[in-house]
Structure 1
Amino acid sequence: MSALAQPDVASDSVAAPSAKSASSGKPTKSMRATNRLLSKSVIRTLSRTKGLDSTHIFVKAANGDVTLSGTVTDPDQIDLAVKTVQGVAGVKSVRNLIRLQVQSS
């Protein structure tokens, strides 16, 4: 009786998603799941940050690159949000699109 070694499909599929996503332009299922987890982690961290009202801050994550958008009422909160997100595990870069909301009197 003889046995032939078969290629490890699991390890090939782990390395291949980046090649597939780069050629097709669409993120793979596992990449989307990773992006969702990172977004949730960032949102959770922002909501737990003292002195920050993250109610109107929106988060989008893609391959470790996080984009923050929305509005805050105090300019100091923009810096606080960006610095907080930079410290979250898995974040490579932070793009800040948060705007200052002008309050009417």
Structure 2
Amino acid sequence: MRTRNLMIAAMIAAFSAAAPMAMAQGDGQGTKESASSFAGDTVITTKVKAALLKEQATQSLSIKVKTVKGVVQLSGSADDSAQIDSAVRVARGIDGVQDVRNDIQLKKTGDR
């Protein structure tokens, strides 16, 4: 439990550090909007990853999370459709998520 909490804290710290760096790179209005969008997407990605680690049905899964303009893309693999449904439900429950794109694949019987 302590290790998982440390991992979550480390992920949040790492992603939080990336947002100011992205904003510092731009000097035009369009860049500021891009940096702001990037920062928001980074926060959403971090929150989704943390929530997936907390959720009993998804914490053992190897799910990749990517967010672009509020749209979360989930990819990876799961043992059954209930795990996939749970991952999608968790992602949709995060503030700021506009939509969820589910690209999680079911593992083949021999891979489980």
**Structure 1 length as normaliser, TM-score?**
0.69
**Alignment pair present for 1:84 and 2:87:** no
CA distance in 2, matches of 1:53, 1:63: 25
CA distance in 2, matches of 1:91, 1:100: 24
1:31-50 equivalences under 5 Å are: 31-50=37-56
Q: Which runs of 5+ in 1 are unaligned?
A: 1-15, 22-26
1:45-56 equivalences under 5 Å are: 45-56=51-62
Higher helix share: 2
| Matched residues, number | 83
**Structure 2 length as normaliser, TM-score?**
0.65
Task: Point out the structure with max Rg over C-alpha.
Answer: 1
Post-superposition offset of 1:31? 1.9
Instruction: Name the % identity.
Output: 33
CA distance in 2, matches of 1:68, 1:54: 15
Task: Report the RMSD for the aligned CA atoms in angstroms.
Answer: 2.1
Q: Which runs of 5+ in 2 are unaligned?
A: 1-27
Question: 2:110 is matched with which residue?
Answer: 104
Question: 2:101 is matched with which residue?
Answer: 95
